[in-house]
Chain A
């Protein structure tokens, strides 16, 4: 059941993911996909539209027409513009159950704009869409609320129809292979965990850089900004995964308990700390890959005096034994020079240098970089001798290229997550207390920025550069530098 089954997300991500699962024979033998929206569509029109979408967006190409034909037989569309529509939806689901002999196992997917969530969840309850025999689960797209209070409210609404263990709040970053690899790398290898702490780590940098601008999402983005769009969810998730304690087991409870713990230990930034630890920016016109692009305020749908943040840099502290005194520098932005998501663990310099200053001119401290996208992989930087007479030391990278090693393309995050939701595994979904802690961290910063005494607004940066100079100052004050990502 996809609410908002005709929307952008459904067309670009959900249906292509389901099609690819079908292609890999990972879907159950009997299943149906029912899309709904307010605007009427016939089953045929709906299939036609999705056929085009899958041909365009599927990660596997070209489209396998045979697989598509049998897949498309399972696609249905129901218009839910009023109560009668929801009644028809119930009948459709019952007929499908009857025809296929499925036990009313139902996965509901909320892929509409968030303001519609409340009415839809209520309708699921009122029209008894859960069915009587099988399981029911609900996937809720991000953003989950727009602050702590609204997240709590949304939660209460969802809980009127679903138990917490039936709620799957999605953050598609967690579905990425390389993000899961963070845990695998940390906890299945003996060599990393002993040095994954304040004794050996100097600091950590997390970068989520996009080259795209706000595009057609200005309506949403003007209300959200980078803080809500990226920091509250993706960035804090990455932070949690690198900084959390080892869970006792790789199951939904143990993993999420540890993530919540580390989110609780994240020091809040508010009041006077704000200007020293947080920088927000907004892009002006510039160039991306040699092509001119407009400034944020010139984008369609953006206010001419908008103060929305399209860039955020933060200096964070995790107040626990492991990380006491170790700063985490995180940044995200739109219209940065390069698309790149990565985590860099910067280790301390060797305690005692045997070699002369000249020999060491090219040496930088060891760094372990986990590249999330694109170019998934891991690289380790270390010092090596340059092959000349005498000693000259240079930092070199040892690269592990995920794609070149396994020679396959990783599945799309949505494939992983939809499959997990179908199997009932919530490990890679966000639990309510986690969302609550994320907002608890993010809210005071947004409030601080909005308050009247921070009248300056975001610092400006030219599109195609690595953000405002204020962000450089944030890290350079501590004698460190942002990585050249």
Chain B
């Protein structure tokens, strides 16, 4: 009989018999911490500002997520409820839910109240998972649900947890089949009509690319090219074996342009002979735009990350090319503007490649829905 992983109690804290015992233990730990703080002459307040539910189905993912949250405790003091659905323990294991808790101190000098709870489901606990999470939520605080991996869209636990949630955070880079999952997530978020906000860490990674693309067209002389785009090319990183991965980050970029500029799909996405995708979409004036999404082998990049963009446009009988390329280092990007083949502008700037913890940190400061993302996702879904 598979018993699943053994829980490391130095990391996850001692096991508690139920919610009441767990709350008592946290109260005890808090009191001990504030007594300690008083001795040091430092005040401590219980200053949680959010509930963060993290769902993971591997202990190592759960642990990594918990470390990230601990690192964020100063910026986002939270109660983190890490749900570990222990698939390893599925067969034959009696269904049951176990809870552990701890107050990790991120930083010895500053006493931050960050409460870490592990809810571990053993066996197939899909039907009862939420009943263990609901009583652990701190009343009145917003609830973020960070789902690591692919959300099991039809499952009861996903639906139940989503109902509690103000903002769902996923990472489409981790989806096994983004082309299947992204449209369903878009539909769920659409049907929820703003009941919860949706975000995708893969979208957050695009931020510097979107910023620079916006910056191009902030220049009044170049703004008119926006209506005359004729071609878009987006490169994305693949590893050496050129394994087939879904370019969801690159497509989100195209979806974003399409939703901002009113481009409509013309034809289905088609694989290009040179690898990647090649397809046409229509400008509001009906003209065709050729879109190419091409895989590139790049060292030092995560698979799927955008490696460069190129936008071609005509206006006032001039041909313009706006390009952004990642430097080989790959911590910088260079933006170039060519007018009729002539280099008019070039600039190299740092390209942050934020770790998950920073991406999450950014997302946790937003509560409302990210309408730009939802529109980009909508456009992507229409394309696919």
For residue B31, CB closer than 8 A to chain A, the reply is yes
Q: Which of B283-309 contact A (CB under 8 A)?
A: none
Whether A381 pairs with B140 at a CB distance below 8 angstroms is: yes
The listed residue (B23, B31, B135, B140) touching A211 by CB distance below 8 A is: B135
Q: Which of B120-128, B207-215, B272-280, B324-332 contacts A (4 or more CB under 8 A)?
A: B120-128
Q: Given A401-B46, A464-B131: A338 and B19 within 8 A (CB)?
A: yes
Which residues 352-406 in A have Cβ within 8 Å of B in the complex?
A: 358, 361-362, 364, 367, 369, 374-375, 379, 381, 386-388, 392, 394-399, 401, 403-404
Count A interface residues, CB 8 Å. Answer: 41
In the complex, B142 has a CB within 8 A of chain A: yes
Contacts known (A374-B23, A375-B23, A483-B139); A290 close to B96, Cβ less than 8 A: yes
Residue B27 interfacial (CB < 8 Å): yes
Residue among A286, A358, A369 making CB contact with B368, cutoff 8 Å? A358
- The residue on B at minimum CB distance from A407 is B31
By the criterion CB–CB under 8 Å, are B365 and A286 in contact? no
The reply to whether A288 and B131 contact each other, CB–CB distance below 8 Å, is yes
Q: Which residues of A contact B131 (CB under 8 A)?
A: 286-290, 337, 464
Given the interface pairs A375-B23, A404-B31, A407-B31, the reply to whether A397 lies near B366 with Cβ below 8 Å is: no
Question: Are A404 and B368 closer than 8 Å at their CB atoms?
Answer: no
Shortest distance between the CB of B45 and any CB in chain A (Å): 7
Task: For B31, give the chain A residue with the smallest CB separation.
Answer: A404
A271 close to chain B: CB less than 8 A: no
Which residues on B sit within 8 Å (CB–CB) of A155? none
A339 on the B face (CB < 8 A)? yes
Q: Is B234 an interface residue when CB atoms closer than 8 A count as contact?
A: no
Q: How far is the CB of A344 from chain B (nearest CB, A)?
A: 8
Once bound together, how far apart are the Cα atoms of A290 and B96, in whole Å?
7
Closest Cβ–Cβ distance, residue B130 to chain A (whole Å): 8
Contact with A along B133-170 (1 / 0, CB 8 A): 01101111111000000000000000000001000000
Specify which chain A residues have a CB less than 8 angstroms from the CB of B97 in the assembled complex.
Answer: 289-291
Most A CB atoms within 10 A — which of B121, B131, B135, B138? B131
Given contacts A338-B135, A369-B139, contact A394 B49 (CB under 8 A): yes
In residues 335-376 of chain B, which contact A (Cβ within 8 Å)?
A: 365-369
Interchain CA distance A430-B141 in the complex, whole Å? 36
| A462 closest partner in B (C-beta) | B131
Interfacial residues of chain A within 175-217, with CB under 8 A of chain B in the complex: 211
A477 within 8 A of B: no
* A484 within 8 Å of B (CB atoms): yes
- B121 lies within 8 A of A290 (CB): yes
Q: List 20 A-B contacts (CB under 8 A).
A: A286-B131, A289-B132, A290-B97, A290-B119, A290-B132, A292-B128, A337-B131, A361-B366, A374-B20, A375-B27, A394-B142, A398-B45, A399-B45, A403-B27, A403-B31, A404-B30, A404-B46, A407-B35, A483-B139, A484-B137
The interface of chain A, by Cβ under 8 A from chain B, is 211, 286-292, 337-340, 342, 358, 361-362, 364, 367, 369, 374-375, 379, 381, 386-388, 392, 394-399, 401, 403-404, 407, 464, 483-485
